A and B are shown apart, each in its own frame.
Chain A
Amino acid sequence: MNSLVMIVVGAALVNNVVLSQFLGICSFLGVSKQMKASLSLGGAVIFVITIASAVASLLYTFVLEPLSLAYLQTIVFILVIAALVQMVEMFLKKNSPAIYKALGIYLPLITTNCAVLGVALTNVQNGYGLAESVLAGFGTAVGFTVAIVLLAGIRGRLDESAVPLPFRGAPLVLLSAALMSIAFMGFGGIS
């Protein structure tokens, strides 16, 4: 039990997916402009990564490994993730329009988010079983959401401040991310 909790905490805070693994940087920097959008994207990412981790783990254990096709994992995972996101989108559109409305436009964006593929590959690398994979995926996605929502909050404050001209825009966002990353290094003490 303790080790399972550590997987979630480790994935969410200690090895934060954006601030220490640098996965999903594109959407982290792009979408964090608005708080509402960040929350929606975070929700969509939690949803997709958790499901994708489960599917990838099952596929690896029951198909790729028995057939000794493990070397095909990159191709198989990326195709499965792309198809999965499409299916989740169609399913939500039909069965729960409310969730679809909240997450809708962010779902396709997630296919190109390298965090999803990254988590699936890391799980295999760590030799995680199904339960561990799902928890690691969930933790990673929560870590992404925490990071992007924090950055959105910081950027909301920064909008009104006077910044030297060359640092306006992207450099300031990157500097904020650097400071957040330093803060998150503190979580290294937990493990």
Chain B
Amino acid sequence: MKTCLERIYNGVLKENPALVLMLGMCPTLAVTTSAINGFGMGLSTMAVLIVSNLIISLLRKSIPDEVRLPAYIVIVASLVTVVELLTQAYLPDLYKALGIYIPLIVVNCIILGRAEAFASKNSPLPSLFDGVGMGLGFTIALVLIGLVREFLGAGTAFGVTILSPEVFTPLGIFIRAPGAFLVLAIVVAVMNGASVMTRANEMVNGCDGCCAKCGKICEDTKEEAVK
């Protein structure tokens, strides 16, 4: 039980995937135009992450090491297809709002990253809770960023008007594309100022450790640079 709670604490705070590990940047920037969209994306990713962690952990002894990445990709892609069909059927509004970013959960670094770093090495129960923790951390981060952007860009929170347009003229730029970069830049700057170690700086230096493969690329690039 202790390890399970520890996994959740780890995912939400210590190694928050979006804010500390800087994984899954594409959805973090793209769908946080409102808190609701961030919440929907967070939950969809969490659902895939929990089940994929569980399945990969259960199969960790039967998947040969050489083909583990393609095997993980097939498992994750199947789960994403299930989530995609379910949202299409039961939450059509969310499906429309998130659009192409739902199938793109397949290439979200968090999922393959956790499969490789945790689920493939640990037993099913901790892996499941790792998925819950990481998923919660990701959801909370997306909702927070979405809340900030929605409030500044439209004066609302979760679709409820907080400041009427007469009092506060919404800064529309925050719900457009540049607002995403802007908010994230300020978030990382604040964390730098508070000396919370994030991986953002490693990321912009080319060693983001994004997915399993990038680690090797990073070494290769360094070698190239030395030459």
| A interface list, Cβ under 8 A from B | 19-26, 29-34, 37, 71-75, 78-79, 82, 105-106, 108-109, 111-114, 117-118, 121-122, 125, 165-175, 177-179, 181-182, 185
Cβ contact within 8 Å between B100 and A22: no
Distance to closest chain B CB from A128 (angstroms): 14
Nearest residue (CB) in B for A21 is B30
Kindly specify which of B4-12, B136-144, B181-189 makes contact with the partner chain. B181-189
B162 near A: Cβ within 8 Å? no
Chief secondary structure at chain A's binding surface: helix
Q: Does B206 sit at the interface, judged by CB under 8 A?
A: yes
Looking at A30, A105, A166, A181, the one whose CB has the most chain B CB atoms below 10 A away is A30
CA of A131 to CA of B182 in the docked complex: distance in angstroms? 37
Q: Is the CB of A181 within 8 A of B178?
A: yes
- What are 21 of the A-B contact pairs (CB < 8 Å)? A20-B177, A22-B30, A25-B25, A25-B29, A26-B25, A26-B203, A29-B208, A31-B206, A74-B80, A74-B106, A75-B78, A105-B221, A114-B107, A117-B104, A125-B100, A170-B185, A171-B188, A173-B204, A175-B185, A178-B182, A181-B181
The stretch of B53-61, B125-133, B163-171, B209-217 that contacts the partner chain: B209-217
B176 lies within 8 A of A185 (CB): yes
Chain B positions within 8 Å of A29 at CB level: 25, 203-204, 208
Contact B104 A114 (CB under 8 A): yes
Bound complex: CA A30 to CA B22 (Å): 12
| B205 CB within 8 Å of chain A | yes
- A30 lies within 8 A of B206 (CB): yes
Chain B nearest CB from A106 CB (Å) reads: 8
Bound state CA distance, A161 and B78, in angstroms? Answer: 48
Known contacts: A75-B81, A166-B192, A178-B178. The answer to whether A109 contacts B217 by CB under 8 A is yes
Contacts of A122 in B (CB 8 A): 100
User: Which B residues are in CB contact (< 8 Å) with A106?
Assistant: 217
**Contact yes or no, A171 B192, CB < 8 A:** yes
Task: Give Cα A105 to B22, complex, Å.
Answer: 23
Chain B residues whose CB sits within 8 angstroms of the CB of A75 once the complex forms: 74, 77-78, 81
B217 touches A105 (CB 8 A): yes
> A118 to nearest B CB, angstroms?
6
Contact A170 B201 (CB under 8 A): yes
Residues on the B chain within 8 Å of A20, using CB: 177
Residues in B whose Cβ lies below 8 Å from that of A173? 204
Q: Which residue of A lies closest to B194 (CB)?
A: A166
Q: Chain B binding site: helix, strand, loop or mixed by DSSP?
A: helix
Mask of B81-116 contacts with A, CB within 8 angstroms, 1/0: 100110000000000000110011011110010000
Q: Does B180 contact A (CB under 8 A)?
A: yes
Compute how far the CA of A79 lies from the CA of B204 in the bound complex, rounded to whole angstroms: 28
| List of B residues within 8 angstroms of A185 by Cβ | 176-178
Neighbouring A residues of B78 by C-beta, 8 Å:
75
Q: Quick one: closest A residue to B182, CB to CB?
A: A178
Contacts of B207 in A (CB 8 A): 30
Chain B hits for A25, CB < 8 A: 25-26, 29
Give the one of A79, A111, A166 with max B CB within 10 A: A166
User: Which of A25, A169, A177, A178 is most buried by chain B, counting CB atoms within 10 A of its CB?
Assistant: A25
> Within the assembled complex, what's the spacing in Å between the Cα atoms of A71 and B81?
7
Does residue B41 face the partner (Cβ distance < 8 Å to A)?
no
Give the chain A neighbours of B193 by CB distance below 8 A.
165-166
Closest residue on chain A to residue B84 by CB atoms: A74
List, in ascending order, chain A residues with CB within 8 A of B190's CB: 166
Question: Is B173 close to A, CB under 8 A?
Answer: yes
A88 to chain B, nearest CB (A): 15
